[in-house]
Chains A and B, each alone.
Chain A
Amino acid sequence: MPAVSKGDGMRGLAVFISDIRNCKSKEAEIKRINKELANIRSKFKGDKALDGYSKKKYVCKLLFIFLLGHDIDFGHMEAVNLLSSNKYTEKQIGYLFISVLVNSNSELIRLINNAIKNDLASRNPTFMCLALHCIANVGSREMAEAFAGEIPRILVAGDTMDSVKQSAALCLLRLYKTSPDLVLMGEWTSRVVHLLNDQHMGVVTAAISLITCLSQKNPDEFKTCVSLAVSRLSRIVSSASTDLQDYTYYFVPAPWLSCKLLRLLQCYPPPEDGAVKGRLVECLETILNKAQEPPKSKKVQHSNAKNAILFEAISLIIHYDSEPNLLVRACNQLGQFLQHRETNLRYLALESMCTLASSEFSHEAVKTHIETVINALKTERDVSVRQRAADLLYAMCDRSNAKQIVAEMLSYLENADYSIREEMVLKVAILAEKYAVDYSWYVDTILNLIRIAGDYVSEEVWYRVIQIVINRDDVQGYAAKTVFEALQAPACHENMVKVGGYILGEFGNLIAGDPRSSPLIQFNLLHSKFHLCSVPTRALLLSAYIKFINLFPETKPTIQEVLRSDSQIRNSDVELQQRAVEYLKLSSIASTDVLATVLEEMPPFPERESSILAKLKKKKGPGAVSVSELEDGKREGGELNGGGERGSDPSAIAASNASTPSPSADLLGLRSAAPIGSAAPSAGSLLVDVFSEAGPAAPSSGANDDNFLSSAPSSSSLGSEDPAPPLPESDELLNKFVCKNNGVLFENQLLQIGIKSEYRQNLGRMYLFYGNKTSVQFTKPVEPLVEGGAQVQQVINIECLTDFSEAPLLNIKFRYGGALQNITLKLPVTINKFFQPTEMASQDFFQRWKQLSLPQQEAQKIFKANNAMDTEVLKAKLLGLGSALLENVDPNPENFVCAGVIQTKAQQVGCLLRLEPNAQAQMYRLTLRSSKDSVSKRLCELLAEQF
């Protein structure tokens, strides 16, 4: 029944499409289109009123032109006119045009909404469906505003036709996804759940998508759906293949609905009711059993539909992670698929097994398939399947099979696809570290990695191997020997040179006893690579050379000669030149003792999470790698992780205990970040000592601000005196800065401290200005000296990791005329500094206000006014707070409401504020609501002091 014969009147359209198809070139096509556009434009503008048919035809032509990829800037009005036609096909074309080409022209939206409203009210099911489709297709906020109230009514009304119900359910789903705040839960919600029981399979199929989405967002309100879903599923699973008539697909009863039901159940934990749970387990067993039955049809559609249900059932089993029997059966089933002739099934089995590998019940069962998976990695012809195999190997790796898996992955890397090499490298590096039993294996693995895929080895990987070697003295000699051997290769990767340079510079002495790797040979080997390397690597090598001078005095003349050569000392790169000059000078004038101190071996790095893991997480997006992974590895592996990082990479800290005057004395000098918390005073430190963590004098600082300041400037601990306890007035001083960012923090006869600060999201920068008010120098132990009348400046970078209530402390010590001054202040960093203002309309505000109705989410204070209740002053203060001051929201114009989001690294906390002044009583009532109780409480405390 070809449609062409069915009342298809738009011959003009067919002619036009043929013309376009006959165009020999792009230019001809454009010409033909322009001609048509001109024609349509003149028709639309012409004096003669067009009949509905012509309008429909032209609108359809415009649509075709648009779908060819050309812009259309007219015809919208004509399309809107078609909406109000009472001829079905004209209306239909009008709606299609609007769906495809809608723009946010508000005038037009009003007209469209009007037409939709009429059609929804028409009680003509076909017209209603058209209107609902249009809303779902456009899904704009304006439409949600206009119809979010009406559609639930249509959905649950007793007299609504089934087809309209189906459209209404999905239309509502779209609006809920785009504007969840506008779709209000209500009496209809319980009736929606009962659509799972509807007689009409089509209605259930459509409604379940809506129910699933609503359940994800409001699990408690919808939890009755669990038992309904189980009984529906059970009926489908146990039905004969013909029972469901048209809803049976290639002998599989209702596969789409079955998948959706299984997906819905994944929004919830296993059912608590024993009977329901029993019934569900029975269903899952039946599904697993059916997979073993001979197929009822040879068609791929049959097996696809059947297996779609099977995979969804396995997902549910994994989600529950509580039925060992089912988990193992699932694993065996997937094991069969691993060798299936259908590529699709092999792909899905690998993917699904990846999640099974993380369950304690099935981890061992997954491991039995290792040979098959390795084989897949080697032989699959499709890169996306190989990628899955690599993922699964990574997931199933543990101490028992790490060596085998790492070896296989390394050999795969030799000819792996470019698109997945970097990820593979990270994975190999992580596995090697996580499951290293002996560190020589670890070092071998990483060096192999650099040899095979040097280009894909990121900084994190080679930093990490250095960190580990430095922290583990049992592997240092082996590492030195191995890099020395690796560097013998005529062409070795630059990353190898970096690792080699660093390690020989630190531990070359451990292999210098062997005449084959004497100091001079080591040096010559490194230097033979020098000219092929980039500037950062050369800089690193220069540092290695100066370390050599310390380790092996006999190399001094040779190295000095190299440093003295024009290509170094007059290098056009300023960094290289500076290093050459400084190292040359250092080696000529410093005594052996000084040299030995300056160039001492690197201190161990503090333990930290592997930066590689962090990188992989970033690459895969949050949640892809579980945070506990590395810890798991540690637990299993016993004491094996000697690595860690300080700052962000070893290069930043290399010379932390060297009191050298050279700013580039750090071994690598790639970053200028200053060392954090190093024990010795470092050059360039200022007047103050900023305690990034609660010091002994501040026991009040709780867990909250332990890690609040993640980056502090270079600190110097001045003598052994403890920092003083915070001044009594420090809280008051802090309060002055809640609503402002700049000003004078502290002042006495000697010293004035000014502050300028700026904040963005969860980051901040604070400038501290220390002014010496006296006419004499402030002296030691402070470097530099602060001359009388002079001012020095210090910059602090701040990152808010999580919410906090105690401010960080600032401890200042200096000598004034021989007396030690010791002052501790609170640094004016308060949680509200990380506010991002949020503008919202009255309706939204109160909706959100209601959502935050748990008692602990609210903090309230009623207090007396300390200052005059001047509206403008209040406004200025509230603006200074950082949140958005919302006008026309509170019905009482005297009240103030604000909204904002506190940005911390860990999370974002939405906050709403309401301040109700009572001029007569000279009182305020302040209410804070936020998604985190500690935030509400702290903000309330801070603000209550402001008015």
Chain B
Amino acid sequence: MMRFMLLFSRQGKLRLQKWYTATAERDKKKMVRELMQVVLARKPKMCSFLEWRDLKIIYKRYASLYFCCAVEEQDNELITLEIIHRFVELLDKYFGSVCELDIIFNFEKAYFILDEFLMGGEIQDTSKKSVLKAIEQADLLQEEDESPRSVLEEMGLA
């Protein structure tokens, strides 16, 4: 099973983190720092897998963002690499040629998409259609929910 997934920028800014096992905040920060250092130091043509502590790290860079997964000993590296790719495709389809900014400003959406795709560190559904359908349904519900609001209201002045 996947233990965690991290998205971070080339500058070492963490953009998304998803942990599939209970981990203390302090340990999380330490692991993120350590792992970012390892991955960012690697050269472009190097292989996408490495051993780190007792985990296998699988990472891939898309434009300015690194997608980095930690899986267990018996997990399949190549299929994990394609989990990353499928997640990128999902983001791309949803946001329309996704970029780092989309994930920064809509981090909650990125989480929702990831949750529809992976759950408890395992694949829930691999079909792009099914995953996005779930998200779009939610968006429809959102539209129904929300009546238009005036700018004043938005600023808390009304």
Contacts and interface: CB of A to CB of B under 8 A. Distances in A.
B81 A344 contact: yes
Interface string B118-137: 01111111111110001001
B62 interface: no
Q: In the complex, which of the residues B95, B120, B134 has the most CB atoms of chain A within 10 Å of its own CB atom? A: B120
B94 interface: yes
Interface stretch (A162-170, A492-500, A792-800, A871-879): A162-170
B116 to A, nearest CB: 8
B141 interface: yes
B37 interface: no
A259 B75 CA distance: 10
Contacts of A90: 145
B146 A304 contact: no
A97 to B, nearest CB: 10
A205 B138 contact: no
Given A6-B142, A88-B138, A311 B76 contact: yes
Nearest to A132: B119
A344 B143 CA distance: 45
Interface in B63-110: 74, 76-79, 81-83, 85-86, 94-96, 102, 104-109
Interface stretch (A9-17, A588-596, A826-834): A9-17
Contacts of B107: 64, 67
A553 interface: no
A279 to B, nearest CB: 22
Interface in B1-16: 1, 14
Contacts of A11: 154
Interface stretch (A381-389, A471-479, A570-578): A381-389
A382 B122 CA distance: 30
A644 B95 CA distance: 66
B27 interface: no
Nearest to A17: B105
Given A2-B96, A60-B108, A136 B119 contact: yes
Given A4-B106, A63-B108, A621-B54, A88 B142 contact: yes
Interface string A321-351: 0000000000000000000000110111000
Contacts of A307: 78
Given A21-B104, A166-B125, A209-B123, A96 B111 contact: yes
A301 interface: yes
B78 A343 contact: no
B76 A312 contact: yes
A2 B92 CA distance: 10
A222 interface: no
A170 B124 contact: yes
Contact of B78 (A93, A305, A382): A305
Interface residues of B, number: 62
Nearest to B48: A344
B80 to A, nearest CB: 8
Nearest to B143: A7
A3 B120 contact: no
B40 interface: no
A202 B127 contact: yes
Contact of B46 (A53, A96, A382): A382
A304 B122 contact: no
Contact of A67 (B17, B48, B142): B17
Interface in A877-936: none
B79 A305 contact: yes
Given A67-B107, A202-B130, A346 B78 contact: no
Contacts of A1: 94, 96
B106 A7 contact: no
B95 A171 contact: no
A3 B139 contact: yes
A287 interface: no
B22 interface: yes
B120 A89 contact: no
A4 to B, nearest CB: 7
Contact of A308 (B82, B109, B121, B143): B82
A937 B16 CA distance: 55
B45 interface: yes
Contacts of B104: 17, 21
Contacts of A170: 119-120, 122, 124
B47 A343 contact: yes
A937 to B, nearest CB: 37
A202 B128 contact: no
Nearest to B29: A69
Contact of A202 (B51, B76, B120, B125): B125
B128 A246 contact: yes
Contact of B108 (A54, A93, A308, A343): A93
A553 to B, nearest CB: 57
A12 to B, nearest CB: 7
A44 interface: no
B78 A3 contact: no
A763 B66 CA distance: 48
A764 B104 CA distance: 57
A313 B149 CA distance: 57
A275 to B, nearest CB: 28
A205 B126 contact: yes
Contacts of B138: 88-89, 92, 126
A7 B76 contact: no
Contacts of B96: 1-2
A246 B106 contact: no
A167 B78 contact: no
Given A21-B104, A92-B112, A384-B50, A205 B128 contact: no
Given A12-B154, A202-B130, A344 B123 contact: no
A263 B74 contact: yes
A139 B77 contact: no
A152 interface: no
Contacts of A347: 47, 49
B78 A304 contact: yes
A14 B109 CA distance: 13
Contact of A209 (B1, B95, B115): B1
Contacts of B81: 304, 344
A206 B124 contact: yes
A546 interface: no
Interface string B145-157: 1100100001110
B120 A311 contact: no
Nearest to B115: A133
B79 A171 contact: no
B115 A3 contact: no
Contacts of B76: 259, 263, 308, 311-312
B78 A205 contact: no
Contacts of B119: 133, 136, 166-167, 170-171, 174, 206
A206 B49 CA distance: 25
Contacts of A260: 123
Nearest to A87: B145
A775 B112 CA distance: 87
Contacts of B141: 88-89, 126
A256 interface: yes
Interface of A: 1-4, 6-9, 11-12, 14, 17, 21, 53-54, 60, 63-64, 67, 69, 87-90, 92-93, 96, 126, 129, 133, 136-137, 139-140, 163, 166-167, 170-171, 173-174, 177-178, 201-202, 205-206, 209, 246-247, 249, 254-257, 259-260, 263, 301, 304-305, 307-308, 311-312, 343-344, 346-348, 381-382, 384-385, 387, 621
The 6 closest A-B pairs by CB, nearest first: A308-B78, A174-B120, A209-B122, A308-B79, A88-B141, A343-B47
28 contacts: A1-B94, A2-B102, A3-B109, A3-B139, A53-B146, A60-B108, A63-B108, A89-B141, A133-B119, A137-B120, A140-B22, A166-B124, A167-B124, A171-B119, A202-B124, A202-B126, A202-B127, A206-B119, A209-B1, A247-B126, A256-B126, A301-B82, A305-B78, A344-B77, A348-B78, A382-B43, A382-B47, A384-B49
Given A69-B29, A89-B145, A163-B134, 5 more contacts: A89-B138, A209-B1, A249-B82, A311-B76, A347-B47
